[in-house]
Structures are given as structure tokens and as C-alpha cells.
Amino acid sequence: MGIVEKYKLQLKPCPFCGGKASIDEVSYGSGNYGSGYQVIAYCANCDLKMEGKDTSWESLENCEPQLKDIVAKWNRRV
């Protein structure tokens, strides 16, 4: 099991619809301003999204602190 799967399993259901929550990364920026990723938690059912901290890592596999943070934020809402 990869690190991302480990944290996905810790997510509680969506606080609004009870749907299954997941984690993803959204890339941002390019050029002179740099680039990176933002970790998000979201509900696949109602499309609720919660943004986490930005990271300059190239993939979710390398950003465990951001994964811990988004899981904690998402689960506090439940």
C-alpha cells in the first residue's frame, strides 16, 4: 500500500452527503512564478472540495506532511 492510499483510508465520509472522500493533487503555476501542487480532499458524490497546503513536490507520494494536514482538516469537519 502506498502512502496516498494509507491516508485515503483515514478520511471520514463527506460531512454533507455521507459520500466517499478521496485525496488528489492539483497542479498550479508555471514559468517565472514556479510551479507545484496543492493537496485537496474531496467528495466524489457531491463534489465538496477542501484545499490543503501548497507543496513544491512533484507527486503526492513525496508530501506526507501535506497529506496528514488535509486528512486532519477534512476529518474535523465531520
Residue 20 lies in a domain: yes
Residue 27 lies in a domain: yes
Residue 15 lies in a domain: yes
What's the farthest any 2 CA atoms get from each other in the chain?
41
Residue 46 lies in a domain: yes
Task: Please compute the mean of the pLDDT values over residues 24-53 and round it to a whole number.
Answer: 80
Task: Please compute the mean of the pLDDT values over residues 39-62 and round it to a whole number.
Answer: 82
pLDDT at residue 67 tops 80: yes
For the chain, give the percent of residues with pLDDT over 70.
Answer: 79
* Model confidence, pTM: 0.80
* Domain membership of residue 61 as a residue range: 3-72
Position 29 confidence tier, pLDDT thresholds 50, 70, 90: low
pLDDT of residue 59: 63
Structurally, the chain folds into a number of domains equal to 1
How far is residue 12's CA from residue 78's CA, in Å, rounded to a whole number? 7
Residue 78 lies in a domain: no
Q: Which residues contact 65 (CB under 8 A, 6 or more apart)?
A: 53
Residue 11 lies in a domain: yes
